[in-house]
Structure 1
Amino acid sequence: MRLFKNKKNNTADAAKGIIAENLTSFYNKLQSGWAGWMSQHTSTLSKRDWMLSLACFILLTGGYSTYLMVSGFTGTSAVISNNVSNIRKPAYTGQAEESQKTGAPLSDSEYARILRFRKYIDSLAADPSGKKVYDSIIQKRPGLMDSLNRVENYYQQFKNKRSWKTKK
């Protein structure tokens, strides 16, 4: 089975390589065509004409850049720009601050629910028939067990701090 997969990937890589080569050659032809056209149409210009066209280009781009800077500082602009508005704070963001004020990041019932889930996952891992389900869960959610460990450690630390404060 592994040999066939590699062949498919090699053909896909070869197709991508051919497409990239075709795009590169098209771009090179386009670039050389544009350079030839520009060379042909500017071959009749004298040094004086080149200097005059360069001066016009510098004056035009410099003037437009100056206009943009001045209009940016003064706020009066004829140029279409994106409107910037204030960012609104979502309604649920205040809840985190309130839970920190009350001091309970996780209720006992939520923690018990997490422990029940942990026992269920551990029983799946221990049971040979549940091992497939466990593996599929871990494969789809690779950081799940780490998150459970972090929540349990955080809850234990919070519980120890709370019990230490009540003893004082």
Structure 2
Amino acid sequence: MKQVNKVYLVAQTKWAQWMAKKMAKLSHSALVVIWSLFIGISGGYSIYMIVQGFSGATVNNIKITPINKPLQLLQQDDEISKENSSADKDKFEKIIRFRAYIDSLGRCPTGK
């Protein structure tokens, strides 16, 4: 981690030195124009983002919805499993009961 910080610090120092050399060549009026453009653009974008946050527009909101497996599909899985199962009937019934138990835990508030 220390190596990463050192590399970052060296890169940051070189960038600052390069920018200082470039800015030293500009006149006072050019610096004022660049500064004004930077303040105007960044301020305008900040105001735009604030207004969008308070406008109540839900166009960009991300909605999280759970993925539910249809009950018919679960029943079909059980039927297919019964047909293709190599385990004996007792073991298979234990697995089905365990599955039902786990599903019931997901439905009760204390199981979650």
Normalised by the size of structure 2, how large is the TM-score?
A: 0.49
Structure showing greater relative contact order (alpha-carbon pairs closer than 8 Å, 6 or more residues apart)? 1
Larger-gyration structure (1/2) = 1
Q: Structure 1 or 2: larger helix share? A: 1
Normalised by the size of structure 1, how large is the TM-score?
A: 0.35
